[in-house]
């Protein structure tokens, strides 16, 4: 019996939105909009964060598209539970970053403001990817117990 493809399809759509959202504007300074990658690179170059863990996380952010592609390959190649696990981890991480940026975007009083297009797209994609990963786990488990 063939497993349901709904979970992996929803996860794939969510991953695509996560990646697309990271390239959309996240921050605005005057008339300049910056994607999450430009903002992370700028924060790293200017050493805006004193925490070494945060600096490592900023440098690792550029791996989001590659990780999403790896998740997609695992889901397509039939390694559903492994792909769903990595998808869930990526969705939780990306969604947390996007949620923090969205919550911080409430005010525009400062020189730098949060542009909501990128964080909201990433947040919606993360929710879809996580739902797809959970759906994949459920169908994989149901298929295993039969």
Contacts of 114 (CB under 8 A, 6+ apart): 26, 27, 28, 101, 102, 104, 105
Q: Where are the beta strands (DSSP E) in 42-145?
A: 112-114
pLDDT (tens digit, 9 = 90+) per residue, 97-134? Answer: 999 888 876 666 667 788 889 999 999 999 999 999 99
pLDDT (tens digit, 9 = 90+) per residue, 19-33? Answer: 999 999 998 887 888
Cβ-contact 21, 122 below 8 angstroms: yes
Say whether 113 sits in a helix, a strand or coil: strand
Angle between helices 36-45 and 52-60 (to 10 degrees): 140
pLDDT (tens digit, 9 = 90+) per residue, 33-80? Answer: 888 898 888 777 776 667 777 778 778 889 999 999 999 999 999 899
Model pLDDT, residue 1: 39
Q: How far apart are CA 29 and CA 115, in angstroms?
A: 10
Model pLDDT, residue 2: 57
Lowest mean pLDDT among 12-16, 59-63, 84-88: 59-63
Question: What residues does each domain of the chain span?
Answer: 6-141
Question: Over the chain, what is the mean pLDDT?
Answer: 86
């Amino acid at each position: 019996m063939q497993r349901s493809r709904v979970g992996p399809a929803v996860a794939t759509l969510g991953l695509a939105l996560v990646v697309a959202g990271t390239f959309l504007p996240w921050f605005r300074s005057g008339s300049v909009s910056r994607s999450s990658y430009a903002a992370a690179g700028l924060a790293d170059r200017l050493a805006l964060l004193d925490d070494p863990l945060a600096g490592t996380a900023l440098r690792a952010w550029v791996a989001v598209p590659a990780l999403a592609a790896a998740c997609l390959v695992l889901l397509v190649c039939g390694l559903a539970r492994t792909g769903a696990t990595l998808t869930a981890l990526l969705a939780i991480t990306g969604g947390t970053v996007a949620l923090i940026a969205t919550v911080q975007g409430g005010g525009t009083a400062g020189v730098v403001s949060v542009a909501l297009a990128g964080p909201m797209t990433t947040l919606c994609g993360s929710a879809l990817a996580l739902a797809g990963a959970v759906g994949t786990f459920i169908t994989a488990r149901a298929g295993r117990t039969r």
